[in-house]
Every structure is written in structure tokens, then in C-alpha cells.
Amino acid sequence: MKKFLTILMAVAISFGFRARADEGMWLLPLIEKLNMGKMTGLGLKLSSEDIYSINKASIKDAIVIFEGGCTGEIVSSQGLLLTNHHCGYGQIQAHSTVEHDYLRDGYWAMTKEQELPNPNLTVTFLLKIEEVTDQVLASVKPGMSEAERSSAINETRSAIERRAAQGTTNRATVSSFYGGNFFYLLVYERYTDVRFVGAPPSSIGKFGFDTDNWEWPRHTGDFSVFRVYTGPDGKPAPYSKDNIPLKPKYWLPVSIKDLNKGDFAMILGYPGSTQRYATSYEVDELLKITHPNRIRIRGIKQEIWMADMQADQKVNIQYASKYSGSSNYWKYSIGQKAGLERLNVKAKKEQIENQFNKWVADDASRMAKYGEALRMIRNSFEGRAEFANSQQYISECFIRGCELLTMNRYASMLAAALKSGNNQRITETGSQIKNFTSSFYKDYNPPTDQKSMKAMIKLYRSDVPSKFHPDFYADIVDKKFKSDIDKYVDDMFARSVFANETRLSAFLNKPVLKILENDPVYLMAVSINRVSADVSKELSRFDENLTAGYRLWIAALMEMVPEKALYPDANSTMRLTYGTIQDYDPKDAVTYKYYTTLQGVVEKYKPGDYEFDLPQRLIDLNNNKEFGRYASPQGYMPVCFLTTNDITGGNSGSPIINANGELIGLAFDGNWEAMSGDIAYEPELQRTIAVDIRYVLWVMDIYAGARHLVDEMDIIN
């Protein structure tokens, strides 16, 4: 730990005037030594112990991993939790029906008895972080191959995790940082009874949909409300009507004071992944393969889905969450590709690499230690290019684009059971498949998937070299259907036992191996799996050199004391980022102010437009200026605001916290002009977009009449 801190302190001192302090996703145990001085200078009134402590309740005890992909925060003594609307979207969708469309109309539990359970939804609290680098690397010996090194490290990591969790229900994991140069033990507690309390209609919670996604000015009330429950003993427990609301160690007070430019802003959350140490070769792969492929394939699929969603309310409910998940990173790819090109990020990475090459060449010991790092990375990316391209097409076209192929996992299980001849195993497997299919078919529309499958099979054949084509193209499509993909897919949906729930249920009552092995879905999936396995095997040939190259590259950058080597890349562990509320200038002669208002929402209103329609009640409340105690002293109803905090995916739902430790908003997006930020931070452009907590409370209280939820919170006037 001391060596690690010494390195980071040297970097901070050497480059303190050149690197922007707002950049960085910081590890909580290090903030006392690395960040408190700057944070205090920006206005923070708290101590590091107030933020992160393992000896007393602190802010970190109010922050949770929400469902594995978002962040949430506890805001009451009764376990009330806030996160983004788009984070709770899957649960809102799951509870929606044509008769009770909570996506369209919103939902508010007026009593705890009306709070809705969510199977498989979890929230996870961090208990502690501890550096274990020396323990982990003690098992690494000179001369080990990369595979041997990885095996030794993983064995030690597993032992540390077992010891940390022994005798408890806690979950322990040892995560790597800086490309495997440092390791931390993180201990968590997970709760599995999390109930849906409320959310505004999508016309508020997703206002602007795809058009406004990743854009500023933003006018989206992106929030939803849940509650964490425990067993009667206060410990994590599965759902039961006898469970009680969580009594949290800490919950965030909520401030409805006005926000001003320059105010301190801090975020604690779980950023998923950044690649700030990426080389020019990784940027090249993003620009030439990853982003173009995702943009092209998802764009075609989403156009098909959206047409059916707009034509049928039931289909809209079925596909709303799936479409949202697909389109979010489709537009992200559009924006990041444009940002990487506009800001010439590849050339900037090459400048760092040139600096590295000169630094290495100046010293024989450096050359011996780090001289191969860039070559290993370059050769890996160049060698794997055609396989990476093929793998992405397999994933996007077949796995994500043909929903019916999801059934292959269960078809394979059933085939194995039938081959075993064990009647009990066959019966149990059939029951397991039926349990899955009930949820699958609930959100599945065969005609939509049929259209999508036709488009995806055609696209894969036209875009991917023939050597990567699954053999169903030649053996079935060409021979039996004379290369007519439409007829092939129509036949599949007409004959497959998986094409609808009724047909599959009847088959599972009397399953026959021969019928299963000749099913068109099964045959297509087996064919795709063979190619996918071959491609994955080829890709894996480059893993060792790429892993070793990155570890050496990042270690060298730390030793070089580069401008940006101040914090580890995001890896879904809790981080702190700090900054201020600020405007920004996206281009010449244009300045965006730091907040938006309810009047701006109404000005975007387009009656009947799925992205910009609004409830009449919201329009009326705005026109009558019925803002209650939530209005700004300036007379407007605030909606969203901007900060200079450094966030990424996974931070969705993270609390924006003021200098006094009070909740002022929920982070939910980044801005279009800085979409390259996961690869290269842009201090003049990068902004976090947050929904103002005053708008959240106004929607709950004034718009929805759920004042009882606001009354649970500690409101700071």
C-alpha cells in the first residue's frame, strides 16, 4: 500500500497543475491522502471518515449496486431507494400489462402492501475495501508463463475470498486494478427482496427517448423508486410477506436548496468500465470494427422492433425494455465513434506511445522490462481483427438479433437428458424449461422475431467472409430453400416446436429426441455454435500476449508518471468522483447553461409523439406554476443540471451529493460532445447530466400525489 500511495502522490504532485482535478474515478480508501485537500478547496465540508469508514456509518453505506448494472442510494430510515427510471425499466416493464400499463401510466404504491416484489432483483452494499496486492503477487514466481501466472493469482485470490467470507453470508471478491498490477479485496452484503414502489410514466421518466439520449439540454425525469426488505431479524432474506423494511446503517439526507454554478458536487457509484490506458491499436479496433458493426446491425434490428412496437401496445410493452437496452449503446457507439474521430484520439494515443518508446529506449533496464509491451499489444489487435469482427457479428446478428435461438440452451439440456434415458432427469429438465419459457414468451412476439431473424441472417451472409459462415447456409438454406432466406425462416417458424409456447409445452409433455435433433431452431443453433466455438478459440490465441502487454504497458505508464495515471480504470467497483456544477461551451459561439426547467419540457412537447408526448396534468401544473416548495427561488421548476464529475456506464442512478453530504440529484447520462470520454477524458467538454432531486420530489409529491414517500426522507430546506 505504501509503495502504491507513493507512486500516486508523485504523479499528483508532478502533474497537479496540468491534469484537471475533476478527472478521476477514485478508490475510497485513498481519498484521505490523495483527494481531500482538493475537495476541501472546492467546498467540501465533510471528512474522509464521513464518506468512507469501516468503523462507523458513512455515506458509502447508503450506496448500492442496483441489479448488477446500475447504482442506487438509500434515502430513508425505512430502506427507500432511488435509482434511474432506465435502471428500473425492466421491473416496470415486467409488472406492466395492457390493462395496467405502468410504462405508459406510471405506478405509485400508496401503502407498503402495494409495493411489488421482483424475482431476481438484488441490491448489494459494500462493507469494506482492503488492498491485498502483496498477498496475491506473492504466488507469482520469475519465469512463469502468462497462463501459469494467471493460475497462481487466481488460486490465491480464491483463498483470500474464502477466508474473507468464511462464517458469514457476505460475498467477497478480489478485483484487479491497473491491468493486474494491484489487487483489492471487496466484501459485500446482498439483499434479494427489493420491491417496486413507484415510477413516473415514461413520458416523464424517458422523456426524449433516443433523440435526447446522451444529449444536452436534457429534460428527462429519469428516476424510479424501490424499497429494500429484510427478514424479521434484519438480515438479508428471500421475498416473504413477513419481511420488514431495511433499517439501513446510513441514508442520505435530501436537499431542496437552490443549486448554483460552481457548487461542489460529489458522486459515489459503480462505474462499469473505462479504457483510459487504451493504446492507439484499441482505438483503431473501435473505429474500424466495434462501433461500425454495432451501429449497422442494431440499427436494422431496432427499426424492425420499433415499427411493431408503435403498431401494437402489447408488443410495445413486450419489447420496451429490450429495445431500450439495445438502443442505448447503439447511440453510444454513434457518439463515441464521432467523438474519437473529431477529437483525433488515436493520434493523441500515438503521441503517448512515442513518448513511451523514447523513455524505454533511454534506459537498458527499462527496455528489458517494458520493451515488448507495445509490440505484444499491437500484434494481438492486428492478429485478432478478422476473428473479432466475426465474433461481434455472431453476437449481434444471431445471439442478440434472433431471439428464438435463446431456446438452444434449453434444447441442449433436453437433448442430453433424453440421451441419458433417465426418466426423472427428463421430467425435471422439462419442468425447468417450462419455468423459463413462461417468462420468455411473456415478452416475445413471434412475428417481430421472424422479421428480425430474416434481416439478421441476410446481413451476416452479406457482411461476413464466407469462411465464417455457419454450415446451415449451405446445407439447409441453399440446398433445401434455393438460397431463399425468407422461406427458410418462414418454414422454421411454421415447424419448430420452439416457435410458440403452446407448441413447446405440448412437446415437453412427450419429448422425442429425433424430433428435437431435427428441429430447425436446434439445427441452426448447433451450426452457429460450431462456428462461434472456432472463432473463440482463434481469439483466445491472442489473450496471453494482450494481457501481459497491458500489464507491462500500464506499469510502465505509472513509472513514467504520465499525466493521466492518477486513478485506476473503472471495473464495477465503488468509486468517488468530484467536481462542480458548471456550464460548458460545446462549439464556437454556443454556451449551454448548467440547468434546464419544466418550461423547457413543455416547449419540447409534441402531442402523440412517443418521444415527446406529455401528460396533460404535467402541462397544467406548469402553466399554473404549481411547483410547491420545490421551485427555484428564481421562480422556475428545475429539471436537470450539469456537473464536471467523471462517470461512465454503471454510474446510472448514482447520487449527486453536495458539500454537506446531502442528495441533490441522480446522475443518468453523459454529454454528446464528450462521448470519447471512456477512452480519453476531455476536461473542457466532459459533463455529467443529472436529474435535479427537486424535480424528483415534485413529480412524487405534486404530480403523483405520493407525498408519503417524500415524508419518509430527511428534507433539508
Under DSSP, the state recorded for 656 is: E
Residue type, 232: P
**298-304 — which CB contacts under 8 Å span 24+ positions?**
298/326, 298/327, 298/329, 298/330, 298/396, 298/400, 299/330, 300/455, 300/456, 300/459, 301/326, 301/400, 301/401, 301/452, 301/455, 301/456, 302/326, 302/327, 302/330, 304/448, 304/451, 304/452, 304/455
CB 429 within 8 Å of CB 413: yes
Decide: helix, strand or coil at residue 703: helix
Confirm whether 86 is a catalytic residue: yes
Kindly tell me the burial class for residue 31, based on how many C-beta atoms sit within 10 Å of its own C-beta (0-12, 13-18, 19 or more): middle
Name the active-site residue from 280, 652, 654, 676. 652
> What per-residue string of b and e applies to 75-105 under the rule 16 or more CB within 10 Å gives b?
bbebbbbbbbbbbbbbbbbbbbeeeebbbbe
Is residue 478 annotated as part of the catalytic site, yes or no? Answer: no
The answer to whether residues 598 and 278 touch, using CB atoms and an 8 Å cutoff, is no
The amino acid at residue 567 is Y
Q: Which of 22, 193, 210, 222 is catalytic?
A: 222
* Number of residues that this document lists for the chain: 717
- Torsion angles phi and psi, residue 305, rounded to 5: -60, -45
Q: 6: which residues sit within 8 A by CB, 6+ positions away? A: none
Residue 186: CA count within 13 A, CB half-sphere: 23
Nearest to 643 by CA among 673, 683, 675, 688: 688
Distance CA 276, CA 622 (A): 43
Q: How far apart are the first and last CA of the chain?
A: 42
For residue 704, give the C-alpha cell: 403523483
Element housing 379 (H / E):
helix 373-393
Question: What does 404-457 look like in DSSP terms, one character per residue?
Answer: GGGGHHHHHHHHHHHHHT-HHHHHHHHHHHHHHHHHHHHT--HHHHHHHHHHHH
Q: State the alpha helices, DSSP H only, in 187-256.
A: 202-205, 209-212
- Under 8 Å between Cβ of 115 and 103: no
Paired with 585 in beta bridges are none
* E strand segments, 224-309: 224-230, 244-245, 254-255, 264-269
Rounded alpha-carbon distances, angstroms, from residue 298 to 290, 386, 392, 455, 537: 12, 20, 12, 11, 26
**Helix axis angle, 373-393 relative to 345-361, nearest 10°?**
150
The dihedral built from the CA positions of residue 459, 464, 465 and 471, taken in this order, carries a sign that is: negative
Q: Going by C-beta distance under 8 Å and a sequence separation of 6 or more, which residues neighbour residue 143?
A: none
CA–CA gap between residue 294 and residue 395 (Å, rounded): 10
Single out the residue of 254, 177, 146 nearest to residue 546, CA to CA.
146
Contact 380, 280 (CB under 8 A): no
Strand partners, 595: 641
| Residue 635 DSSP one-character state | S
Catalytic positions, please?
A: 86, 222, 652
